[in-house]
Structure 1
Amino acid sequence: MTDNAAVAAVPQKGFLGWIERVGNRLPDPVVLFLWLVGILIIISVIASAVGWSALHPTETDPETGRQKVIAATSLLSPENIARLWVDMPTTFTHFHPLGYVLVVMLGAGVAERTGLFGTAMRASVRGASPTLLTPMVAFVAMMGNLAADAAYVVLIPLAAVIYHAAGRHPVAGIAASFAGVSGGFSANLLPGQLDALLFGITQAAVETVFGPWQPNIAGNWYFIAAMLFIFLPVIWYVTDRIIEPRLGTYVPAGTAGTGDVGERDRALTDAERKGLRHAGLAILFVIGLWAFFTLGPGTPLIDEAGPPEARLSPFYRSLVAAFFLLFLLAGWAYGRATGVISNHRDLVKMMSESMGDMAYYLVLAFAAAHFVAMFAWSNLGLILAVHGADGLRAANMPAPVLLAAIVLLTAALNLFIGSASAKWALLAPVLVPMLMLLGISAEMTTAAYRVGDGATNIITPLMVYFPLILIFCQRWQPDFGLGSLAATMLPYSIGLLVSGIVLLMGWVALDLPLGPGASVYIPLPTTS
C-alpha cells in the first residue's frame, strides 16, 4: 500500500495536475457548507441593507392589488437568529433527504453485508462470451449502482480477472466497469438509493420557494433507463475500439492479478446459488405485495378520490418503503440460505452497522440542511430565481440548450466536488425554482443534473474511489500511474457526456415523460 500511495501522490503536470492541485485545496464538503453559510450570512446582510428585491411572479399585494415585492432578509435579524437556535433540531430532522436515504439504507445495508450484491454481480458476469464481454460488464456495472460501494470493490477487480481469463487486457476490464459504475452513475433500469437522495434535495429546493411539494422517487425512471441503453454502446465502442488497442497485448508481470482478486472469480457455491434463488423469491414477494396494495381490494396505494393526475401519488411516495423492504427481505433470504444470518440478532446487527456507515452522511446532512434552510429564510433563493428566470427568458434560450448548459456546469463542478448530494444541495436551491418559473419541471432539472454528475467522475483524482481503481490497475500493470488512469478514462468521459447531452436535448425536444407522472414541462407554479 505504501508504494501505491506514493505513485498516487506524484505531482501531475498539465490540466489534470492543475485540477488535482486546486481540488485538493478545497475543504471537506461539511466544512465547505459551513463556509457557505458564513458567506450567505454576509450576502444576506448586504442584500437587505441595499434593498435588493424582486416582484413576486404569481402573488399580489392584497392592499394595492399590485405584484407583491419580495425583499431580501438579513440572516442576522432577531427573527432569523432566534429561528436558527430554536429550530435547529427540526431544521436537521426535517431535511427531506435524511429520511429517504436512511430508510433505503436500512435494507440495502443488509443486502450488502450478507454478500447478496457481490454474489449477484459475480453470477451476472461469469461465463460471458469474449465478444459480448464488454456490454455484459457495462450493463452489470450500471445496474451495480444499486449496490453502491459493493460495485466498486467487487465488480471492478472481478472484471479484470474475467478479461484476463478471456485473453483480453485486464485493465480494459477495469476501465469498462469503472466507466459503467461511476461514469454511468445514474443510469439504471430501476430507481434506487440515489433517486431517494437527489429527490429529497429537490423537494427541499422546491419548498424554499413554492411550499409543500411531494417528490416522486420514480420521477426520472424512464430517463435513467434510457441512459443505460444509450451509455451501453458508448462504453462498448470506447473499450473495444479505443482503449484496448491503446493498451496493447497484456504481458503478465510477476504475480499481478493474483490473491484476493482471483478469489472473487471463484465459481458460485451451492449455498450461494440457493441464496440467490431465495433472494429472487423474496423480490417477487415484494413486487407481488405492492401490486396487491395497488390493484387489490381497497387499493390503498391509489387515491381513488383524487384527480386523475394525482391518483398514483400514494404509490410513488411508497416506493422508498418498497425498496427498503425489497433489499431487506432479499438480503435476509440470501443470508439465511448461506448461513450468514442465523437468527434475528444477526439481522438487527447488520441494520445497525449500515446506520454506522451513514455517520459521515449525517454530519454532511446537518450542514447542508442548515445551508438550504437559511437560504430560504433570506429570500435570496426566490429573488435569484425571479431575476435569473427573467434573464433567461430575455435571452430566449431554447429549453434543450438551457438544460445542456446545466449539464456542462455540473460536469465542471464535479471535477472539484465529488459528492453527488453535496453538489446538488449547492445547485438545487437556485436551479430548481429558477427553471420552474420558466415552466420546466423539477424532475427535468434533476435529470439534467444527473447527466453531468456522472460523466466526469472517472477523470478526477478527487473522486473518492479513484486511488482504489489505480491500485486495481497496478496489480496487473505496476507502472500504471495516475495520469495513465486519467488518460484511459478521458474518452469514456467525453463519450458519456456528449451522448448524455444529446439524449437530454432530444428528450426535451420530444417532450417525453421522465417517469410515471413526471413530465418535462409544468404550468407556472404558485408560491407559498
Structure 2
Amino acid sequence: MKEQSVKKRSFFDKFLDVIEKSGNKLPDPVVIFMSLCLIILIASFVTGQMGVSAKNPADGKVIKAVNLLTPEGIAKIISEAVNNFATFPPLGLVLVVMIGVGIAEKTGYFETLMKYTIERTPRKIIVPVIIIVGILGNAAGDAAPIVLPPIAAMVFIKLGYHPVAGLVMAYASALGGFSASIMLGMSDALVVSFTEPATKLVDDSVSVNAAMNYYFLCVSTILLLIVTWIVTMKITVPRFGLYQSNDNDASNEVTPTERKAMIIANIALVITIVIIAAISIPEDGLLRNAKTGSLIEDSPFMNGIVPIITLLFFIPGIVYGFVAKTMRSTKKFAEMLGESMSTMGPLIVIVFFAAQMLAYFNWSKLGTIIAIKGAEALEGQNGVVLILGVLFLSGFINMLIGSASAKWAILAPILVPMLMLLGFHPAFTQLIYRVGDSVTNPITPMMPYLPLLLSYAQKYVKDIGLGTLIAALMPFSIAFGIFWTILLIAWYFTGLPVGPGGPIYLK
C-alpha cells in the first residue's frame, strides 16, 4: 500500500488551528443559552432603569424597555417557564420529523440507498453522483455525513484516487450543501420554527412556511454540484495524489436482501408520493385551502408539511425494516423509535433555554428595540450590503457554535425583525442565514462530525491531523462562499420569490 499525504503546514493550517483551539474553549451551547438568559435579564434591568425606548416605524408607537427583575417580572419568569418550553415550535416539529427520519436511518434504508446508488453508477459520473447524494442527504439528518464519507473513500480507492480525498469531498458535500436540496427535510422544518416566532415580534399577519426557500435551494443544488466537482478534481485529488491498494473490501456492497428491501421500500415511497399528489394537485384537493383553493397559503398541505415529510421517511423506512428483517418485531420498532428520539436529548435541552431566552427577549422588548435601532443604523444601505453583512455574521458565528438551530435561535429574533422593518420578507432573511451557515460548515471545528471524519482518515493515514483535514476542506468553503453569494445577489436583483410563499420583499 502506498500512502501520500500533505505534511507541509500551510498558512491556512496554522490559522485554522488557532480557530480550533479558541473554539474548543467556548462553553457548551446549553451554557451559552443559560448565559444569554442571564444577560438579557440584566440588560432588561439596566435599559428599563434608563428608560430606553424606540419608535416603531411600522405604527409610530413608542416601545419602552421592560425591566424583568421586578417582583412581577420574576413571578412571570417562574410561572411561564414550562409554558415557554411546551409551546416553542421546534419541540414538536423536530420530534415529529424524527419519527420518520429515525426509522429510515435505524432500519438501514438510508445507508442501503446511498450504497446502491454509488455501486450502480458508471465510473465517469461516480464522483458527481457521490456529491449529489451528499447534498441531498441533508434531508436524512445525520445519515449523510456519517455514512457517505467512508463509502466515498472506498470508491476513490477503486478509482485510483486517495481515499482521504473521497472522505473530504463527501463530508464537504453533505455539510457544505446542508441548506441545498430538491427535497424538503428536517432542516427546513427546524429553521422555520425559529423564524416564525421571530416574525411575530413585528407582525402576526406575516405567514411563513417550511418550503419558503425551496426555489432557491433547488437551483443551489445544481450550483454546488458543479462547484464541488470542480474543486475536487482540480484541487483536492491532485493535492492528495494517487493511491494504490490491493485490498478488495466488499463489506459495503449491497446484499441481495438489502437490494430487494430497498426496491420494495422505494415502491412504497412512490405510492405515498402519488397519494399525496392525488389529494393535493386537483383544484378541489383535500390538502388545498377549502375557501381559496390555494395549495400554499393557509392550506392543510403547508400547515401539515411536517407530518407529510415524516411520512415520506417513515413509510419506506418501516417497509425496508420488515423486508430486510432489520426490524423483526414491534418491540424492535419501538426500540428504534426510542433510539432515534434519544439523539434529540441535547437539542431538547437547548430548546428549553432557547425558549426562555426568546420569551425574555419578547417580554423585555429588547428584541424589538434592537431591531428598530439596527434598522435605523442600516437605513440607506443597499440590499447587497445587508446580504453580505448577514452572510458574514452567520458564517463567523458558525465557527464558534456548530448547532444550526442554536445559532438561528440567537440570530432570528434580531435579524428577522430588523430586516422586516427594512421591508424584507422573513423568507429572504432566513435564506441569507442558511447560506452563510452552510458555507463554513465543512471547516468549523465545532461540528460534531469532524472527529468522526478524522477517525475515518486515520484508517488510511495514521498520523493525519485535524489541520490537514480542515486545510483540505477550506477550498470547498471558499468556493461555496464565492459562488453561492453571487447566486444569492443575482437572485436578489431579479426580485423573484425564493420559494412558495417566500417573496423577497414584504407586500
Normalising TM by the smaller chain, what interval?
over 0.9
Distance in 2 of aligned mates of 1:349 and 1:16:
41
What percent of counterpart residues are identical? 40
After alignment, is 310-319 or 272-281 more displaced? 310-319
After alignment, is 242-251 or 27-36 more displaced? 242-251
- Per-residue CA deviation, residues 220-252 of structure 1 (Å, 9 max, x unaligned), is 111111111111111111110111111122255
Letter in 2 for 1:412: F
- Match of residue 184 from structure 1: 177
Secondary structure (helix, strand or coil) at the match of 1:70 reads strand
Distance in 2 of aligned mates of 1:53 and 1:179:
45
- Match of residue 30 from structure 1: 30
After alignment, is 457-466 or 431-440 more displaced? 457-466
Which of 79, 88, 102 is the equivalent residue of 1:86?
Answer: 79
1:451 aligns with 2:472: no
Q: Structure 1 residue 147: deviation in Å?
A: 1.7
Q: Structure 1 residue 179: deviation in Å?
A: 0.9
- Match of residue 156 from structure 1: 149
Taking structure 2 as the reference length, the TM-score comes to: 0.94
Gaps of 5+ in 2: 1-11
1:281 aligns with 2:274: no
Q: Structure 1 residue 307: deviation in Å?
A: 8.5
Secondary structure (helix, strand or coil) at the match of 1:503 reads helix
Pair 212,350 (structure 1): closer, same or farther in 2 beyond 3 Å: farther
Which of 432, 443, 453 is the equivalent residue of 2:416?
Answer: 432
After alignment, is 159-168 or 454-463 more displaced? 454-463
Pair 471,433 (structure 1): closer, same or farther in 2 beyond 3 Å: same
Q: Structure 1 residue 517: deviation in Å?
A: 2.1
Q: Structure 1 residue 102: deviation in Å?
A: 0.6
Distance in 2 of aligned mates of 1:497 and 1:79:
48
- Match of residue 143 from structure 1: 136
Which of 198, 209, 221 is the equivalent residue of 2:202?
Answer: 209
- Match of residue 64 from structure 2: 71
Maintained 8 Å contact 1:215/1:317: no
- Per-residue CA deviation, residues 352-398 of structure 1 (Å, 9 max, x unaligned), is 222122111111110111111111111011111111112212xx222
Maintained 8 Å contact 2:296/2:500: no
Maintained 8 Å contact 2:144/2:174: yes
Maintained 8 Å contact 2:132/2:173: yes
Gaps of 5+ in 1: 1-11, 60-66, 524-528
Secondary structure (helix, strand or coil) at the match of 1:459 reads coil
- Match of residue 122 from structure 1: 115
Which of 340, 343, 359 is the equivalent residue of 2:345?
Answer: 359
Distance in 2 of aligned mates of 1:274 and 1:346:
21
- Per-residue CA deviation, residues 118-169 of structure 1 (Å, 9 max, x unaligned), is 0000011114334322211110111111222221221100000011012222
Maintained 8 Å contact 2:280/2:295: no
Q: Structure 1 residue 401: deviation in Å?
A: 2.9
Maintained 8 Å contact 1:301/1:315: yes
- Match of residue 458 from structure 2: 474
Q: Structure 1 residue 263: deviation in Å?
A: 5.3
Distance in 2 of aligned mates of 1:313 and 1:51:
43
Q: Structure 1 residue 98: deviation in Å?
A: 1.2
Maintained 8 Å contact 1:206/1:433: yes
- Match of residue 243 from structure 2: 250
Maintained 8 Å contact 1:470/1:485: yes
Pair 264,73 (structure 1): closer, same or farther in 2 beyond 3 Å: farther
Q: Structure 1 residue 348: deviation in Å?
A: 2.6
Secondary structure (helix, strand or coil) at the match of 1:301 reads coil
- Match of residue 7 from structure 2: none
Letter in 2 for 1:390: E
1:508 aligns with 2:492: yes
Alignment RMSD? 2.1
Q: Structure 1 residue 295: deviation in Å?
A: 4.0
Pair 295,459 (structure 1): closer, same or farther in 2 beyond 3 Å: closer
Distance in 2 of aligned mates of 1:490 and 1:116:
32
Which of 210, 221, 225 is the equivalent residue of 2:218?
Answer: 225
Secondary structure (helix, strand or coil) at the match of 1:361 reads helix
Secondary structure (helix, strand or coil) at the match of 2:442 reads helix
Q: Structure 1 residue 342: deviation in Å?
A: 2.7
Maintained 8 Å contact 1:441/1:519: yes
Which of 403, 412, 422 is the equivalent residue of 2:406?
Answer: 422
1:43 aligns with 2:43: yes
Maintained 8 Å contact 1:44/1:75: yes
Q: Structure 1 residue 310: deviation in Å?
A: 5.9
Letter in 1 for 2:278: F
After alignment, is 289-298 or 457-466 more displaced? 289-298
Letter in 2 for 1:431: L
Maintained 8 Å contact 1:401/1:505: no
Secondary structure (helix, strand or coil) at the match of 2:161 reads coil
- Match of residue 56 from structure 1: 56
Maintained 8 Å contact 2:175/2:441: yes
Maintained 8 Å contact 1:436/1:522: yes
Q: Structure 1 residue 58: deviation in Å?
A: 2.5
Maintained 8 Å contact 1:179/1:489: yes
- Match of residue 101 from structure 1: 94
- Per-residue CA deviation, residues 388-411 of structure 1 (Å, 9 max, x unaligned), is 112212xx2221331122111111
Which of 276, 279, 286 is the equivalent residue of 1:293?
Answer: 279
Pair 162,309 (structure 1): closer, same or farther in 2 beyond 3 Å: closer
Distance in 2 of aligned mates of 1:374 and 1:55:
20
- Match of residue 238 from structure 1: 231
Secondary structure (helix, strand or coil) at the match of 2:57 reads strand
Distance in 1 of aligned mates of 2:212 and 2:102:
24
Distance in 2 of aligned mates of 1:80 and 1:503:
46
Maintained 8 Å contact 2:279/2:287: yes
Maintained 8 Å contact 2:130/2:152: yes
Letter in 2 for 1:108: V
Letter in 1 for 2:242: T
Letter in 1 for 2:432: A
Maintained 8 Å contact 2:295/2:301: no
Distance in 2 of aligned mates of 1:510 and 1:463:
34
Distance in 2 of aligned mates of 1:307 and 1:69:
40
- Match of residue 498 from structure 1: 482
Q: Structure 1 residue 45: deviation in Å?
A: 0.8
Letter in 2 for 1:338: A
- Match of residue 5 from structure 2: none
Pair 152,58 (structure 1): closer, same or farther in 2 beyond 3 Å: closer
Distance in 1 of aligned mates of 2:251 and 2:224:
26
Q: Structure 1 residue 319: deviation in Å?
A: 1.2
After alignment, is 27-36 or 138-147 more displaced? 138-147
Distance in 2 of aligned mates of 1:309 and 1:401:
35
Maintained 8 Å contact 1:45/1:75: yes
How many pairs does the alignment contain?
497
